[in-house]
């Protein structure tokens, strides 16, 4: 199944299972391939820092060979020139979603987007959906204030980062599900909201601080949900994935 970046933002055209991204949070390519092949019904996979550093771009090629969509979650955060080069390279991999840190600032985000657009045109490849991480879902209001010394509540900080991201021209943000309703009031419907920190009522929250259930997040206006351990750490990952899909479909009908 291949869906273009533009089509991926037409949320009504996607089934619930196409809106759930499962992380490959494993240390090796071998473990990742076992997980992918054990869940053939999952169409969208996230490759994060651990696996990308361990397995390299070959992991992306394996996913594409299986006709899977790829969320390359590297959370790039550097000077504008470095971010531009990294985004151009990521575009050549043909990934569907790529993450940056919004806190890199407007110049860094703009340089990254411009480089991806140029590389996409030069290589005749689809432009990835580039989204900016607003605030990590592991960071609580207390940590934001006392550790990072940001004099804003999380929802105000996230809104500020999201509006800056939109002003630059990126296609969306990564945010906690608790901020989705607020962002939907201020941002256009085609601006993607990608939500980690989503946990069913029957799963542990682990290290996530600002959570909702998958059904609640979709009802609030989330575009994509990133759901890992409730699926991958389950005794029956396929059954857990299907249970989440069923709960979401029921809530949306």
pLDDT score at 9:
44
How far is the CA of 5 from the CAs of 38, 43, 121, 170, in angstroms? 27, 15, 14, 12
Counting residues of the chain whose pLDDT is more than 70, the rounded percentage is 92
pLDDT score at 4:
37
pLDDT tens, residue by residue, 144-177: 999 999 999 999 999 999 999 999 999 999 998 9
- Looking at every residue in the chain, the average pLDDT score rounds to 91
Identify the band that residue 67 occupies on the pLDDT scale cut at 50, 70 and 90.
Answer: very high
pLDDT score at 250:
84
Query: Is the model's pLDDT at 183 over the cut of 90?
Result: yes
Instruction: Give the pair of three-digit tokens for residue 96.
Output: 């569907």
Which of these, 18, 21, 16, lies nearest to 251 by C-alpha position? 16
CA angle 245, 250, 253 (to 5 degrees): 120
pLDDT score at 1:
33
Question: Would you please indicate which residues are annotated as catalytic (active-site) residues?
Answer: 75
pLDDT tens, residue by residue, 210-234: 568 999 999 999 999 999 999 999 9
Query: Average of pLDDT values for 73-83?
Result: 98
* Alpha carbons 62 and 41: distance in angstroms, whole number: 16
pTM for this structure? Answer: 0.91
Which residues contact residue 123 at a Cβ distance below 8 angstroms, ignoring those fewer than 6 apart? 91, 92
* CATH classification of the domain holding 41: 3.20.20.70
pLDDT score at 195:
95
pLDDT score at 204:
64
Query: Is the model's pLDDT at 73 over the cut of 70?
Result: yes
Query: Average of pLDDT values for 23-34?
Result: 96
Which of these, 127, 68, 123, 77, lies nearest to 99 by C-alpha position? 77
Query: Is the model's pLDDT at 208 over the cut of 80?
Result: no
Q: What is the number of structural domains in the chain?
A: 1
- Domain boundaries, position 122: 5-252
- 221's torsion region: left (phi>0), alpha (psi -120 to 50) or beta? left
pLDDT score at 34:
96
pLDDT score at 29:
97
């Amino acid at each position: 199944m291949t869906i273009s970046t533009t089509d991926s933002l037409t949320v009504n055209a996607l089934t619930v299972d196409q809106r759930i991204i499962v992380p490959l949070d494993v240390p090796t390519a071998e473990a990742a391939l076992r997980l992918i092949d054990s869940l053939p019904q999952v169409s969208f996979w996230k490759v994060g820092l651990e696996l990308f550093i361990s397995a390299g771009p070959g992991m992306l090629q394996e996913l594409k060979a299986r006709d899977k969509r790829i969320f390359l979650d590297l959370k790039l955060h550097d000077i504008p020139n470095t971010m531009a080069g990294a985004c151009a390279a990521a575009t050549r991999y043909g990934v569907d979603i790529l993450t940056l840190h919004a806190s890199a600032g407007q110049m860094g985000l703009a340089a990254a987007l411009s480089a991806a657009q140029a590389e996409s045109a030069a290589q005749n490849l689809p432009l990835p959906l580039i989204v900016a991480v607003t605030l990590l879902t592991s960071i609580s209001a207390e940590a934001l204030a006392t550790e990072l010394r940001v004099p804003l509540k999380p929802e105000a900080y996230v809104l500020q980062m999201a509006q800056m991201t939109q002003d630059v021209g990126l296609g969306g943000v990564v945010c906690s599900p608790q901020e989705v309703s607020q962002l939907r009031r201020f941002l256009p419907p085609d601006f993607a909201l990608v939500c980690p920190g989503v946990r069913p009522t029957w799963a542990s929250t682990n290290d996530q601080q600002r959570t909702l259930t998958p059904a609640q997040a979709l009802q609030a206006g989330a575009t994509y949900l990133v759901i890992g351990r409730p699926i991958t750490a389950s005794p029956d990952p396929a059954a857990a994935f299907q249970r989440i899909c069923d709960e979401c479909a029921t809530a949306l009908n």
